[in-house]
Structure 1
Amino acid sequence: MGLAQLSVGGEPTSAALVREDRILDLSGWPELDHPHSSADLLARWDDVQATLDALADDEAAGWKPLAGFQVHRPVDPRQVFQCGATYRTHVIDLAVAHHDGRDGRTVEQVRADAAAQMDDRRRHAPYVFVGLPSAISGPFDDVILPADG
């Protein structure tokens, strides 16, 4: 069971419960104040959780097949914080792959230097940076990577 933002045919999004291949559109529920997004529900979680739990268990609540609905990203973020360089081996492999040899270091030296840098980062605060809200995608969205990435 989960919360989602759905739309049909280009209409505005609405909040919904999703259970496997079925959805329950929540925009028509006055008890929930007709939410248009999952953020509307999350902002009032303490007030709506009991109603959502009851609807999730109610087979007669008006569940529909998921087919035909566009599933959007779960929230529309206002800000995104990202933590980089969290995969030690991946970062070391990237350092080696991008090393062109002009600095005189061998591949083994590049690997050792990158490993030492990653170990040093682990002992200190994480590397956090601001990302773009467009970095958040929906569950069925294509993720297009740059050709040189």
Structure 2
Amino acid sequence: MTAQTNRFTAPFALARYRDGDAVQLGLVAGERIRPLGPSDLGAPDLNTFLGAPDWNRLAALAAAEGDEWMPVGEVVLTAPVEPRQVLQAGANYREHVIQLVAAGLTQDGSRTPEEAREFAAEMMDKRAAHGDPYFFIGLPACVVGDDEPLVLPAYSEVHDWELELAVVIGSRAFHVSRAEALQHVAGYTIVNDVTTRDLVFRKDMKEIGTDWYRAKNAPGFLPTGPFLVPAQFVDTSDTNLRLDLNGETKQDGSTSDLLFDVAALVSGASQTMPLLPGDLLLTGSPAGNGQHWKRFLRDGDVMTGSIEGLGTQVVRCVAEGDAS
């Protein structure tokens, strides 16, 4: 599928696009795109550039004329990043978690819905004030562009969507404080963190708990992009996220509801393992996934995910065996 008309709002962004059998890094400005080679970047590849990004260099290229420019609508965009690591934050939107906890607390009838919600809200506020972010890891091989259909594995009928703001790491971050964390953010992109719900918890040995490998790491389960927008152009304090399924809005939230903001997440994740240039750090998903609606992904579904300032990705779902 070609680039979407609903694009980012920044003066320029990075993208990657299909060039025959290869993938080419590109600079997007308005309705046009041009290839970026090592001499343009001042670096041998994208991740090296992100480790010490010279955005002024790209701003000058974005303002220049030349024969290199092409209409962006005439190229096929793919995932704008090549991460070596993917970290995912769970249970990080206050309202979403309150809904989930309150629903569980009312099942045995011991609390009214109002009491359950009050209890859950107090729990989340304490966690935000005194707790730590919750992380798990994904496979970089699952990162694809929205030019590829999402193949729904036949082993389940409960594949779910989770639209997320994704941090793209810049300079290497290890043991960084919250005050330092944003200095290590190169930019942001869109990710749909697809999840197979009936595989999240082990049934054969409940003591093991969650099985994020099987639940979240089928091929193509991290549709990403299509743009990497430099951090200087993105305010993540109150950014809208919206996901439409076949034209019907299912998720409509804001990053103002995050329990742990971007700085807290980058700092927290960096305490265990160095975050490397180009890595992805997903920030969690707002309320409104398929589990809430009791409606999961089916063959022929189209997910349109938009994040304010970052543009739109459109993902087409196909049953396993029907991909074309």
TM band (smaller chain): 0.7 to 0.9
Are 1:6 and 2:6 counterparts? no
- Whole-angstrom distance in 2 between the partners of 1:116 and 1:143: 39
- Superposed counterparts of 1:40-51, under 5 Å: 40-43=48-51, 45-46=53-54, 49=55, 51=57
- Whole-angstrom distance in 2 between the partners of 1:103 and 1:40: 56
- Whole-angstrom distance in 1 between the partners of 2:95 and 2:77: 34
Are 1:17 and 2:48 counterparts? no
- Report the equivalent of 2:225: 138
Which range is displaced more, 12-21 or 104-113? 104-113
Aligned residues: 139
Residue aligned with 2:26, SS: strand
Give 5+ residue unaligned stretches, structure 1. 145-149
Q: Could you tell me which amino acid in structure 1 is paired with residue 81 of structure 2?
A: V
Q: Could you tell me which amino acid in structure 1 is paired with residue 133 of structure 2?
A: Y
For the 8 Å contact 2:106–2:112, the answer to whether it is kept is no
Residues 104, 122 of structure 1: CA spacing in aligned structure 2 closer, same or farther, 3 A cutoff? same
Alpha-carbon offset, residue 2 of structure 1: 0.8
- Whole-angstrom distance in 2 between the partners of 1:125 and 1:2: 35
For the 8 Å contact 1:79–1:130, the answer to whether it is kept is no
- Whole-angstrom distance in 1 between the partners of 2:42 and 2:129: 47
- Whole-angstrom distance in 1 between the partners of 2:24 and 2:75: 11
- Whole-angstrom distance in 2 between the partners of 1:51 and 1:101: 57
Alpha-carbon offset, residue 96 of structure 1: 2.9
Q: TM-score normalized by structure 1?
A: 0.73
Residues 143, 128 of structure 1: CA spacing in aligned structure 2 closer, same or farther, 3 A cutoff? farther
Residue aligned with 2:111, SS: coil
Q: Which has the higher strand share?
A: 2
Alpha-carbon offset, residue 18 of structure 1: 0.2
Residues 44, 109 of structure 1: CA spacing in aligned structure 2 closer, same or farther, 3 A cutoff? closer
Q: Could you tell me which amino acid in structure 1 is paired with residue 30 of structure 2?
A: E
Structure with higher RCO (Cα < 8 A, 6+ apart): 2
For the 8 Å contact 1:96–1:111, the answer to whether it is kept is yes
Alpha-carbon offset, residue 111 of structure 1: 1.0
- Whole-angstrom distance in 2 between the partners of 1:94 and 1:116: 14
- Report the equivalent of 1:147: none
- Tell me the alpha carbon deviations over residues 65-110 of structure 1, each in whole angstroms, 9 at most, x when there is no partner: 1123221222122223333333222221222344552262222222
Residues 51, 106 of structure 1: CA spacing in aligned structure 2 closer, same or farther, 3 A cutoff? closer
- Whole-angstrom distance in 2 between the partners of 1:137 and 1:31: 24
Q: Could you tell me which amino acid in structure 1 is paired with residue 98 of structure 2?
A: I
Q: Could you tell me which amino acid in structure 1 is paired with residue 31 of structure 2?
A: D
Q: Could you tell me which amino acid in structure 1 is paired with residue 14 of structure 2?
A: L
For the 8 Å contact 1:8–1:68, the answer to whether it is kept is no
Q: TM-score normalized by structure 2?
A: 0.37
Residue aligned with 1:45, SS: coil
Q: Which has the higher helix share?
A: 1
Alpha-carbon offset, residue 131 of structure 1: 3.2
**Whose radius of gyration is greater, 1 or 2?**
1
Alpha-carbon offset, residue 58 of structure 1: 1.2
Are 1:57 and 2:63 counterparts? yes
- Superposed counterparts of 1:28-39, under 5 Å: 30-32=39-41, 38-39=46-47
Which range is displaced more, 133-142 or 86-95? 133-142
For the 8 Å contact 1:96–1:107, the answer to whether it is kept is yes
Alpha-carbon offset, residue 40 of structure 1: 4.2
Q: Could you tell me which amino acid in structure 1 is paired with residue 224 of structure 2?
A: S
- Report the equivalent of 1:109: 115
Residues 116, 51 of structure 1: CA spacing in aligned structure 2 closer, same or farther, 3 A cutoff? closer
Residue aligned with 2:88, SS: strand
- Whole-angstrom distance in 1 between the partners of 2:102 and 2:52: 48
Q: Could you tell me which amino acid in structure 1 is paired with residue 15 of structure 2?
A: A
Sequence identity (%)? 35
